Structure 1
Amino acid sequence: MTRTQVKMLILVVAVATAVLSGATASSIPEEVLLDPLEHDSLHARHFEGGEHNTQFDHEAFLGPDESKKFDNLTPEESRRRLGVIVDRIDEDKDGFVTLSELKNWIAYTQRRYIEEDVARVWKQYNPNNNDSISWDSYKNAVYGFMDELSTDEKESEENGISYKSLLKRDHHRWAIADQDLDNNLTKEEFTAFLHPEDHPAMKDVVLRETMSDLDKDNDGKISVDEYIGDMYRAAGTEEEEPEWVANERDAFSKHRDLDNDGYLNEEEVKQWIAPHDFDHSESEAKHLLFEADADHDDKLTKEEILEKYDVFVGSQATDFGEALARHDEF
């Protein structure tokens, strides 16, 4: 997996899920329709608001879906279940978890998340499990409600988003994912459509959508205010920006704006959201190793991991048994 952990979840997927679950245009939650996409770097999400976001680590270690199930376990039960998964991570059964083994596990959990997410949505769109899904079928399922809207309602925008623009974006992404140009998507193509950040052929789509969402004045570049506006909105004109926002402004000028012209162009945005040769699984594995390696020998014992259980899983619940039963790749 590449930069999936950035989780640039495309808004139309949330809308589609809401519609398919029975929501109407008027009943889709406002926050689903209007919240901007997340385009923060991995570091920004990992240290969100200037604080270490342990949920980021939990999602990387377990996968987003599994981590959400961690709600009601005591610390003792969390440690017990974590011990079970540690035994599986230790591929050569030598009593240590190495960087390579931890990286393999994280890559596995992220692949599993994508596969399960695609399988779930594929079943919603394609209950008969046909070999492919047509654009018309998809459009009718997700945007059929637009037939009952007026032209003004279709085009009405808030935060730069409208039903019409969502449909246009979806159609463009569909066309790029449709490698054989038959206007239908196979399951593999549908995976690229749902998770474009994971497919080389879709990288330009992710970049274009990111630019579109951030570039509010449509001048083809991202100002520092547009950059900050995607992460933070003051409650009022008198509200003082928190320190982490000031740090992000500093990061914009020192690390994002490579040519120091006060703006991010497409190439600079690309370097920000998808840096060359960045390996998320390795980066996260190194972070977890650093957090838990008490004796600094560059490998982890089960005891070291359990001592730092909150870094890996917290006191929450997951069906480890099901996850481990499916983990047959090592």
Structure 2
Amino acid sequence: MPAFHLTYLSLLLLSACLLAAAIPKPDDEETIDANGVLNSPLDNDSDGEQHFEGEHHNKQYDHEAFLGEDDAKSFDQLPPEESKRRLGLIVERIDEDKDNFVTLSELKRWIEYTQRRYIDEDVGRMWKMHNTDGNETITWEAYRENVYGFLDTMDKEEIENDEHNMSFKRLQKRDRRRWGVADQDLDDKLTREEFTAFLHPEDHPAMKDIVLTETIEDIDTNADGKITLDEYIADMYRNSEPNDEEPEWVKSEREGFSKFRDLNGDGYLDREEVRTWIVPKDFDHAESEAKHLIFEADIDGDEKLTKAEILEKYDVFVGSQATDFGEALARHDEF
């Protein structure tokens, strides 16, 4: 079995991130409803978890946005007292001007920092894995051999009769296409910057079209280039019992498909409608998540957070038993 690369994992995370968003208003601006639910065009982060399903708040989304995905491995193993202590130390780092308040801008910069750190560390690991000779670029053939070379030892029938192998075959084709888009100088080699775009296309403007294409392919099960209501719902919800009634949040998504997604009312989402949905203009994820966290923890309503308010709501930020969180907090050299 090959050392599985993060391109596929990143794709899964990105798809879940982009495709399970809560229904926004038609102007695609984030809002907070009466239940404290933040509705935005991109209501999920790269953790691949849905932020809200109806009225059910998934705290893992906030946890990973607050500390970053790679630092979401061991915090849930800590007792509450220790997790609060370490969270308090992080709060002191977020409070840049040391005025004992965490403002929206400070929290936004922290979330942006955790995102950058995860991407930098992820790319660093993968660069070393696929570039053992320390070259300035990685060739497609070297990457393909490292990730998909095991397919070369199989005959066509062996591959086609094994769904697992066929999945890798499809992934190889998708990676090849994405590689070509990331390869800006068209030399079939990727610099570290281009390799970053390949692994994390959601963060590069030049990769927006390939993200859109891959997203449509993931949802469009009949491959007609459009997304039906059934395909839209099936991507986020599968009822294991056909006779069971759908949850309210699914009913809301059905209504939202017609009201806010299908802009021309033809019953389908075409490419431009999907683009409006998953990559809306001028949407700032970090600011949106910072606003949400302040809403969740701001007890006195002054639109900024004290350490006491954050610790009071520490389970929103870290420490849930349902999440893996906080490897950064366990690093002995930081605390």
Corresponding residue of 2:247: 242
Q: Secondary structure at the match of 2:62?
A: helix
- Taking the aligned partners of 1:306 and 1:236, their CA distance within structure 2 comes to 41
Flag structure 2 segments of 5+ consecutive residues without an equivalent: 22-41, 45-49
Flag structure 1 segments of 5+ consecutive residues without an equivalent: 1-17, 23-30
Cα deviation for residue 261 of structure 1 reads 1.4
Per-residue displacement from partner, 1:181-210 (whole Å, max 9, x unpaired)? 111111111000000010000000000111
Cα deviation for residue 230 of structure 1 reads 1.3
Corresponding residue of 1:225: 230
Cα deviation for residue 117 of structure 1 reads 0.8
Per-residue displacement from partner, 1:246-272 (whole Å, max 9, x unpaired)? 222122112211112111011111111
Corresponding residue of 1:87: 92
Cα deviation for residue 83 of structure 1 reads 0.6
Cα deviation for residue 323 of structure 1 reads 9.7
Cα deviation for residue 48 of structure 1 reads 3.3
Which aligned pairs between 1:184-203 and structure 2 lie closer than 5 A? 184-203=189-208
Corresponding residue of 1:320: 329
- Taking the aligned partners of 1:207 and 1:156, their CA distance within structure 2 comes to 30
For the structure 1 residues 251 and 216, does the alpha-carbon distance in structure 2 shift closer, same or farther, using more than 3 Å as the test? same
Corresponding residue of 2:260: 255
Amino acid corresponding to residue 201 of structure 2 in structure 1: P
Normalised by the size of structure 1, how large is the TM-score?
0.83
- Taking the aligned partners of 1:186 and 1:281, their CA distance within structure 2 comes to 27
- Taking the aligned partners of 1:188 and 1:33, their CA distance within structure 2 comes to 18
Cα deviation for residue 73 of structure 1 reads 1.2
Which of the residues 263, 268, 283 maps onto 2:288? 283
Per-residue displacement from partner, 1:30-83 (whole Å, max 9, x unpaired)? x99999942323336210364101000000000011122222112111111011
Which of the residues 13, 17, 20 maps onto 2:3? 20
- Taking the aligned partners of 1:131 and 1:290, their CA distance within structure 2 comes to 45
Cα deviation for residue 219 of structure 1 reads 1.6
Corresponding residue of 2:24: none
Give the CA RMSD over aligned residues: 2.8
Tell whether the 8 Å contact from 2:4 to 2:147 is kept in structure 1 after alignment. no
- Taking the aligned partners of 2:76 and 2:299, their CA distance within structure 1 comes to 28
Tell whether the 8 Å contact from 1:88 to 1:324 is kept in structure 2 after alignment. no
Cα deviation for residue 240 of structure 1 reads 3.5
Amino acid corresponding to residue 43 of structure 1 in structure 2: D
Aligned residues: 300
Cα deviation for residue 232 of structure 1 reads 2.0
Which deviates further from its counterpart, 150-159 or 232-241? 150-159
- Taking the aligned partners of 1:196 and 1:80, their CA distance within structure 2 comes to 36
- Identical-pair percentage: 61
For the structure 1 residues 323 and 139, does the alpha-carbon distance in structure 2 shift closer, same or farther, using more than 3 Å as the test? farther
Which deviates further from its counterpart, 305-314 or 247-256? 247-256
Tell whether the 8 Å contact from 2:76 to 2:319 is kept in structure 1 after alignment. no
Q: Secondary structure at the match of 2:138?
A: strand
- Taking the aligned partners of 1:36 and 1:104, their CA distance within structure 2 comes to 21
